[in-house]
Chains A and B, each alone.
Chain A
Amino acid sequence: MSASSLLPLLVLWPLAGGLLGLLLPRGAGPLLLGVSTGNLALAVALVDALAGAGKVAHSVGGWSTPLGIALRADGLSAVLILVAGAVAPLLALYASAAYAGRELRYFAGLFLLFLGALNGLFIAGDLFNLYVTLELLGLSAVALAALGGGAAALAASLRYLLATITGSLAYLLGVALLYRATGTLDLLQLSGQGPALPGGAVAFALMVAGLLLKAAVFPLHFWLPPAHANASPPVSAALSALAVKAPLYLLLRLWLSTYDGAWPLVAELLAAIGAAGVLWCSLQAVLQRRAKLLVAYSTVAQLGYLLLALALVPAAGAAAYGAFTLLLVSHVLAKAGLFLAVGNLARRAGHDRLDGFERVVQHLPLSASAIALAGVSLMGMPPSGGFNGKWLLLQAAIATGDWWLVAVILVGGLLAAVYIFKLIEHTFGGSDRPDATALPRRMEWAALTLAASAVGVGFLGQPLLRLLGGVP
């Protein structure tokens, strides 16, 4: 099979799996595991193909641009598809134990469609196709967040829905302006043109605002904590680890390619809101009394780091680009592991109030270890992936002379340590409660594997950066 056929397969395979998941009355568990494992194999094949070629492209329908749609993958797409592909089977493993019957069937269908949308977004080379994949991703995320939930989850999902559509529409209005000015939707044909176009700056502002809202970046994060904290553990993990990363990826792509990293003011503005997000939401995480809300605020804070790295890319180049990627990868793994582990504790305790998580370490030692390991990466302690990412970010900030950012990164790390230790303290302390129910072991192993990979990916920094390649 040619490398170019891999791109459409990465979309068709999970979509077909999702359709089957909804159609078939039984067998959702094995289907979910099988399809997500197959997807991982495709992702690995793509990485392999890119190691030789550097770039892969596919013209859908054989039509050239601007008439048709082009699918393209470079190092950044491959890293993201690989990490999403690696997380998916573990979430599937967890879900096949956590859900049963009707719920499992809908989770399988929706999650696989979500995965297809994610892959499709990472390889899309067309502005409107990106809009459709964004909407597919957003709607499947909303549906997952509402899956079998109570009133709080439904209210949070509705808010999530309104926020995600508003963000997409702002993005689409920007796309309309770009199409009007150029007559093309293709990213390659648009490359570098953005700043000089009539209405180009307005289009950029609209697209950036829409994507920041969809990524739940501070101060547009209002919808995220309730939606992520009220969903069930595998859904929270998928949303927090994967869904919010896609708009940031697209923002980076648009800014670097279509707008050629233009306007120093944009970099300063993004850095400023990134820094404010790191500080404010880390502080919010420290103040939370519910474990899942703590983890959700930690997500918004970590998104702030990603925005900092993104803002530094035009000025600092490879260091910031690498920092963005490594921070993203380690956050995906750590946050997925953390949400699953906290979900285990909450399931065992019957609630997720921190002051009630008493001495579960005796009953759920693996989940408690997962929390500790994920915490190591989120705090950015060596040898974790989070450390590598922050180290590169610090280098980028020092290289550009942004000393205030160095201070923000360090203070953010300290605050992360505070909220992680708060979580750990409640997990390991307190009195014994032997009456709780047992959990299937694979729910613990899935959490631990993810958290351990977040630390382990620290050793894979160099291969990942090689795969990523230079700043496009």
Chain B
Amino acid sequence: MTGQACYAVLGALLFCLSFHALIIAVHPLRRLLAVNVMGSSVFLVFIAGAGPRDPLPQALVITGIVVAVAATALGLNLLLRLAGPAEDDRPSAGQDGS
């Protein structure tokens, strides 16, 4: 198996792992992280699938990353408000925000 195919297969496995985490996780922060990893796995497949010679997927993935950053920031801010100001001081308390 070439290095390129290795990365693509790794991306496919990562997609399934993050999907699993998304389904079984209860805490919304874990779910948000799972979606983030899922995004990275798709980007990995995109770039590895087309190969290093093709600049197009690299540009598309930069766009994808910015979109992912925007979505994550929105999600984290929603999460912070759900957790409420009371829990704000101890973010590691493991409270369920949903």
Residue positions of A touching B, CB distance < 8 A: 128, 131-132, 135, 139, 142-143, 146, 151, 154-155, 157-159, 161-162, 165-166, 169, 172-173, 176-177, 179-180
Contact = CB atoms under 8 A, between A and B. Distances in A.
A143 B78 CA distance: 10
Given A173-B42, A173-B45, A162 B22 contact: yes
A179 B38 CA distance: 19
B49 A177 contact: yes
Q: What is the predominant secondary structure among interface residues of chain B facing chain A? A: helix
B60 A143 contact: no
A173 B70 CA distance: 19
B74 interface: yes
- Most chain A C-beta atoms within 10 Å of own C-beta, residue among B39, B68, B71: B71
A139 B46 contact: no
A139 B57 contact: no
Contacts of B79: 158
Given A139-B71, A166-B35, A172-B64, 18 more contacts: A132-B63, A132-B67, A135-B71, A143-B74, A154-B82, A155-B98, A158-B28, A158-B75, A158-B78, A158-B82, A161-B78, A162-B31, A165-B71, A173-B45, A176-B45, A176-B49, A177-B45, A179-B49
Contact of B78 (A131, A157, A166, A172): A157
A189 to B, nearest CB: 14
A197 to B, nearest CB: 13
Contacts of B68: 165
A139 B74 contact: yes
Contacts of B39: 165, 169
Interface in B9-37: 15, 19, 22, 28, 31-32, 35
Contact of B35 (A131, A151, A169, A173): A169
The 9 closest A-B pairs by CB, nearest first: A180-B49, A176-B46, A158-B78, A173-B42, A135-B67, A176-B45, A165-B35, A172-B42, A169-B42
A143 B64 CA distance: 19
Chain B, interface residues (CB within 8 Å), range:
20 to 34
Contact of A161 (B15, B57, B63, B75): B75
Contacts of A158: 28, 75, 78-79, 82, 98
A166 B46 contact: no
A154 B67 contact: no
Nearest to B22: A166
B46 A179 contact: yes
Q: What is the predominant secondary structure among interface residues of chain A facing chain B? A: helix
Contacts of A128: 60, 63
23 contacts: A128-B60, A132-B63, A143-B74, A146-B78, A151-B82, A154-B78, A155-B97, A155-B98, A157-B78, A158-B78, A161-B71, A161-B74, A161-B78, A165-B71, A172-B46, A176-B46, A176-B49, A177-B49, A179-B46, A179-B50, A179-B56, A180-B49, A180-B50
A169 B12 CA distance: 12
A122 B22 CA distance: 30
B35 to A, nearest CB: 5
- Most chain B C-beta atoms within 10 Å of own C-beta, residue among A128, A131, A143: A128
B15 A173 contact: yes
B64 to A, nearest CB: 7
B78 A139 contact: no
B70 A162 contact: no
Nearest to B15: A173
